[in-house]
Structure 1
Amino acid sequence: MEPENSPPIPTPPTSSSLRWKILRRALRRNSENPSTLNQVSRRARHGFNLIPCRLVDEVTEKISVSLPNRDACFCYTLPLPNAPKLFLRQRLEDCADLNDFEICNRYDIDNTGLVCQWPSEDVLAYYSMTHLSSFRGKRVIELGSGYGLAGLVIAMVTEASEVVISDGNPQVVNYIQRNIDANSASFGDTKVDSMMLHWDQIEVLETAGTFDVIIASDCTFFKEFHKGLAQTIRCLLKEDGLSKAILFSPKRGDSLDKFLVQVEGSGLHFSITEIYDSDIWSRHKKILKGNESWPNYETDHCYPLLVTVTR
């Protein structure tokens, strides 16, 4: 029996409380010093600049779906012969409201998919274009896709049999579906679908054990989601000895290492590749030397490693 005056045992913080704490800290810093967020953020406006893109007008480009006032449309020019244009709708930078965080709390998810196009997604999309045979004729799913750049690139140029682009945030999934609709004429015979997928609900999936390739980028940032992500990968991969997950993620301190502990704990195997593409590695070195502009660039936080996961 505990003494009457013993201090209460602290309960571990929930995912939602941690997110609100981060938001509160950011808002306070912003009010005290407007330049602080620019100093703290690891986000890059253009990342590694692997796929040229430009802001376009939906009317001029004859895009059939109109955009809300807070959205923008970007046209990506894929560096492949005869590749179609890819149109991606996303939020305007720094556009968020309290409803975004209310939805995050309701579904126990994060809001990063709405923030911007993250550099690791750009790397994943580019890598896919240089490894077409890894996807040809395969059933592919992207986890935590954000606006869906990599999944859409694979659907457009690799001749995959099917591509499912998923996220756990219903707002993000709405963007994914609109981006699928906007590019549907460029998919050829590839079937493309959006899907809301929460990594803690994999036991109800009818698609368990049906995917040849799983892709994801920068999905190991939040440590509380590591176990769910590892279990989701195990659940979705085919048991044929040939299926694999292709993940791109910076180390971010011990975050990636802790995720890999969960991968091993799920009975999966992994390998890490630092130099997986000569062009990406060259740009990384140029940025480190200051030959290309990327404020606050650090290898640990910005350069994504290639993690291959197999059964």
Structure 2
Amino acid sequence: MKRISRKTIHGFNLIPFNVMEENSDSLSKSNRSSTGSRDVLVCYTLPIDGASKLYLHQRVDNRADLNDFKICNGYKIDNTGLVCRWPTEDVLAYYCLSHADIFRSKKVIELGSGYGIAGLVIAAVTEALEVVISDGNPQVVDYIQRNISANSGAFGGTLVKPMILHWDQQEISDNSNTFDVIVASDCSFFKEFHKGLARTVKFLLKSKGPSEALFFSPKRGDSLDKFLVEIEKNGLHFSITEIYDTEVWRRHQGFICCNDDWPNYEKDHCYPLLVRIAF
């Protein structure tokens, strides 16, 4: 499995973490998901002065339950946000941490957030005005709510809230042209979601004044290119940056050369490009 899988638990390992609770006997009922899967509390140590910490409830087994697929079919969504913290999410969180000025005094929304580490980093360290952490999977949003509650003391004056947001849903008029910054990681992989995702970006992004969406996505064959076609169809513009952070690029080059921590690492499949989208 290690030789054929491109997924890795550690990924770029830009934000160190350790499991606080992993013995099932020590887990209370509140630390079990609605599907019965065992959950753990994971401590992320942010690499900044003061060594700030964030605590996230996550699945312990890095696997899906049968009930997950029933919910996915019912809501026409995927369950990737429940499986693990994906490597591109790690890169997004690190980039937000290193570029806090982008978010200061801004209204921010994260799309397809999974457990929400990037949104929580923005809320904890950037002095954003408001951070909405969204996902289309109601199970994932339950985790987001728990993780917001677990870190409520870290947000200062920043308003932080979860949102169930399906990219094809129409009933989000209250959020029309609301956000200064949109962030997302690995959201362009599934081609069947491209049209809805592009429309959602246009709908949520402020059309007046400076605003932008920051997408971190590997090319994954032609999936990113096809998503950007939909972005242009919606009257939006984009730019792509390959080298956007020296540390991320250094680690990428290390995986390319040879690294047993990430078997079968491939640039096209694993290295996220920074896509900036705006009107």
Alignment TM class, shorter chain as reference:
over 0.9
CA deviation profile, 1:12-58 (whole Å, cap 9, x unmatched): xxxxxxxxxxxxxxxxxxxxxxx4xx544321110101011111139
1:71 aligned residue (12, 28, 39) = 39
Structure-1 residue corresponding to 2:105: 137
**Is 1:253 the equivalent of 2:221?**
yes
| Higher normalized contact order (CA 8 Å, seq sep 6+, divided by chain length) | 2
The amino acid of 1:125's aligned partner reads A
CA deviation profile, 1:60-89 (whole Å, cap 9, x unmatched): xxx999412611121000011125310111
1:221 aligned residue (170, 180, 189) = 189
The amino acid of 2:229's aligned partner reads V
Structure-1 residue corresponding to 2:267: 299
Name the SS for the 1:176 alignment partner: helix
The amino acid of 1:197's aligned partner reads L
How far has the Cα of 1:219 moved from its partner? 0.3
1:188 aligned residue (138, 156, 169) = 156
Q: How has the CA–CA distance of structure 1 residues 179 and 58 changed in structure 2, closer, same or farther, with 3 Å as cutoff?
A: farther
Judge conservation of contact 1:64–1:182 (CA < 8 Å) in 2.
no
Name the SS for the 2:276 alignment partner: strand
Q: Could you tell me how far apart the structure 1 residues matched to 2:87 and 2:259 are?
A: 18
1:56 aligned residue (12, 15, 20) = 20
1:109 aligned residue (77, 82, 91) = 77
How far has the Cα of 1:92 moved from its partner? 1.8
Q: Which runs of no fewer than 5 residues in structure 2 stay unpaired?
A: none
Structure-1 residue corresponding to 2:7: 43
Structure-1 residue corresponding to 2:88: 120
The amino acid of 1:226's aligned partner reads H
Name the SS for the 2:13 alignment partner: coil
**Is 1:162 the equivalent of 2:130?**
yes
Q: How has the CA–CA distance of structure 1 residues 267 and 179 changed in structure 2, closer, same or farther, with 3 Å as cutoff?
A: same
**Is 1:201 the equivalent of 2:169?**
yes
Q: Could you tell me how far apart the structure 1 residues matched to 2:52 and 2:170 are?
A: 34
Q: Could you tell me how far apart the structure 1 residues matched to 2:29 and 2:278 are?
A: 39
Structure-2 residue corresponding to 1:95: 63
Q: Could you tell me how far apart the structure 1 residues matched to 2:277 and 2:160 are?
A: 23
Q: Could you tell me how far apart the structure 2 residues matched to 1:124 and 1:295 are?
A: 22
Between the aligned residues of both structures, percent identity stands at: 65
TM-score normalised by structure 1 residue count: 0.84
Name the SS for the 1:166 alignment partner: strand
The amino acid of 1:96's aligned partner reads A
Between the two proteins, the alignment pairs up a number of residues equal to: 272
**Is 1:286 the equivalent of 2:254?**
yes
Q: Could you tell me how far apart the structure 2 residues matched to 1:106 and 1:169 are?
A: 10
RMSD value over aligned CA atoms?
1.8
Q: Could you tell me how far apart the structure 1 residues matched to 2:70 and 2:77 are?
A: 10
Judge conservation of contact 2:5–2:263 (CA < 8 Å) in 1.
no
Structure-2 residue corresponding to 1:10: none
CA deviation profile, 1:104-125 (whole Å, cap 9, x unmatched): 0000000101010000100000
Name the SS for the 1:163 alignment partner: strand
1:236 aligned residue (204, 210, 213) = 204
* Mapping 1:265-280, distance limit 5 Å: 265-280=233-248
Name the SS for the 1:95 alignment partner: coil
Q: Could you tell me how far apart the structure 2 residues matched to 1:64 and 1:176 are?
A: 18
Q: Which runs of no fewer than 5 residues in structure 1 stay unpaired?
A: 1-34
Structure-2 residue corresponding to 1:19: none
**Is 1:171 the equivalent of 2:143?**
no
Judge conservation of contact 1:143–1:167 (CA < 8 Å) in 2.
yes
